[in-house]
A and B are shown apart, each in its own frame.
Chain A
Amino acid sequence: MSDRTKRGASGAFEIKVPTRAALLSTAGVILLGLSFLSVETYNMMPPILPGYPGDAFFPRLVLGFCVIWAVIILARSIFLSQAAAAARYEAPYVVLHWLEFASVIVLVLLYALLVEPVGFEITTVVLMMALLVPRLLAGPRATPARAALLALALSLATMLILYAGLGPGLKIGLPLKFLPTYIQ
Chain B
Amino acid sequence: MEALLGHLLGAFGALASPTLLLIMLAGVAIGIVLGAMPGFGSSQALALLFPLTFAMSVDQAVLFFLAVYSAVEYGSSIPAILIRTPGTGASAITVLDGYAMARKGLARKALRISLYTGVIGGMISTLIFIVAGTSLGHVALMFGPGELFAVGVFGLSIVASFFGKDAARGFLAAGIGLLLATVGSSGFGGLRFDFNQGYLMDGIPLVIIIIAFLAGPEAFRLLVEHRRTVETREEAAASDAGDLNRITPQEAKALIPTILRSSLIGTAIGIIPGAGASVAAMLAYSEERRWSKRPEAFGTGIPEGIAAPECSNNAVVAGTLVPSLTLGIPGSGGAAILLGVLISKGVVPGPLLFRDHGTFVMTVFVGLLAINVMMLFVGLLCTRPFSLVAKVPMRLLGPFVLVLIVVGSYAYANYTTHVIMVLVLSAIAYWFERISIPVVPIVLAFIMGPIIEENLSRALTITGGDLWTVLSRPITVVVLLLALATAVYSITSMMRAAVLAEKGRAKDKP
- Which A positions have Cβ atoms within 8 angstroms of B? 4-5, 7-10, 19, 22-23, 26-27, 30, 37, 40-41, 44-45, 48-53, 55-59, 62-63, 65-66, 69-70, 72-73, 76, 87-90, 94, 96-97, 100-101, 104-105, 108-109, 111-113, 115-116, 120, 124, 127-128, 131-132, 134-136, 138-140, 158, 162, 165-166, 170, 172-175
Tell yes or no: B198 within 8 A of A by CB.
no
Per the bound structure, the CA–CA distance linking A155 and B453 in Å amounts to: 44
Contact flag A132-B435 (CB < 8 Å), given A73-B172, A115-B416 = no
Per the bound structure, the CA–CA distance linking A109 and B427 in Å amounts to: 12
Within 8 A of A (CB), among B218-260: 220, 223-233, 235
- Is A52 a contact of B465 with CB atoms below 8 Å? yes
Please name the 5 residue pairs, one residue from A and one from B, whose CB atoms are nearest each other, closest first: A8-B228, A45-B190, A131-B399, A66-B175, A51-B465
Selected contact of B419 from candidates A23, A53, A108, CB within 8 Å: A108
- Is B188 a contact of A8 with CB atoms below 8 Å? no
Question: What's the interface size class on B, roughly?
Answer: 35 or more
Contact flag A135-B395 (CB < 8 Å), given A53-B460, A112-B416 = yes
Selected contact of A58 from candidates B171, B396, B420, B453, CB within 8 Å: B453
Instruction: Name which residue of chain B comes closest to A66, CB basis.
Output: B175
Known interface pairs A5-B225, A65-B171; 16 further A-B residue pairs with C-beta atoms within 8 A, sorted by A's residue number: A4-B235, A19-B435, A30-B172, A45-B188, A50-B461, A66-B172, A87-B505, A94-B434, A94-B435, A96-B224, A100-B225, A104-B224, A131-B399, A140-B230, A166-B411, A170-B48
Contact flag A52-B457 (CB < 8 Å), given A45-B190, A139-B230, A140-B233 = yes
Per the bound structure, the CA–CA distance linking A4 and B225 in Å amounts to: 11
B-side contacts of A57, CB under 8 Å: 457
Instruction: Name which residue of chain A comes closest to B502, CB basis.
Output: A87
Chain A nearest CB, measured from B438 CB (Å): 12
Q: Which of B161-169, B274-282, B283-291, B488-496 contacts A (4 or more CB under 8 A)?
A: B161-169
- Is A62 a contact of B186 with CB atoms below 8 Å? no
Tell yes or no: B322 within 8 A of A by CB.
no
A-side contacts of B457, CB under 8 Å: 52-53, 57-58
Can you list 29 pairs linking A and B with CB atoms under 8 Å apart? A22-B434, A23-B435, A26-B432, A26-B435, A27-B172, A40-B193, A45-B188, A45-B189, A49-B461, A51-B460, A51-B465, A52-B188, A52-B457, A55-B186, A55-B192, A65-B175, A66-B172, A66-B175, A72-B168, A73-B172, A87-B502, A87-B505, A100-B224, A100-B226, A108-B406, A109-B420, A128-B399, A132-B396, A140-B232
- Is B403 a contact of A131 with CB atoms below 8 Å? yes
Instruction: Name which residue of chain A comes closest to B419, CB basis.
Output: A112
Contact flag A88-B406 (CB < 8 Å), given A26-B431, A69-B175, A139-B395 = no
- Is A165 a contact of B37 with CB atoms below 8 Å? yes
Contact flag A62-B399 (CB < 8 Å), given A48-B189, A97-B224 = no
- Is A51 a contact of B466 with CB atoms below 8 Å? yes
Per the bound structure, the CA–CA distance linking A65 and B156 in Å amounts to: 13
Selected contact of B228 from candidates A4, A40, A58, A63, CB within 8 Å: A4
- Is A172 a contact of B193 with CB atoms below 8 Å? no
- Is A172 a contact of B411 with CB atoms below 8 Å? yes
- Is A4 a contact of B407 with CB atoms below 8 Å? no
Provide the main secondary structure of the chain B interface. Answer: helix
Per the bound structure, the CA–CA distance linking A7 and B231 in Å amounts to: 10
- Is A63 a contact of B179 with CB atoms below 8 Å? yes
Selected contact of A4 from candidates B193, B229, B420, B423, CB within 8 Å: B229
Contact flag A22-B435 (CB < 8 Å), given A30-B172, A51-B461, A100-B223 = yes
Chain B nearest CB, measured from A180 CB (Å): 17
B-side contacts of A166, CB under 8 Å: 407, 411
- Is A128 a contact of B176 with CB atoms below 8 Å? no
Per the bound structure, the CA–CA distance linking A140 and B234 in Å amounts to: 12
Chain B nearest CB, measured from A30 CB (Å): 7
- Is A138 a contact of B226 with CB atoms below 8 Å? yes
A-side contacts of B464, CB under 8 Å: 50-51
- Is B166 a contact of A37 with CB atoms below 8 Å? no
A-side contacts of B191, CB under 8 Å: 45
Tell yes or no: B53 within 8 A of A by CB.
no
Tell yes or no: B135 within 8 A of A by CB.
no
Tell yes or no: B414 within 8 A of A by CB.
yes
Selected contact of A138 from candidates B395, B423, B461, B463, CB within 8 Å: B395
Selected contact of B402 from candidates A22, A30, A104, A172, CB within 8 Å: A104
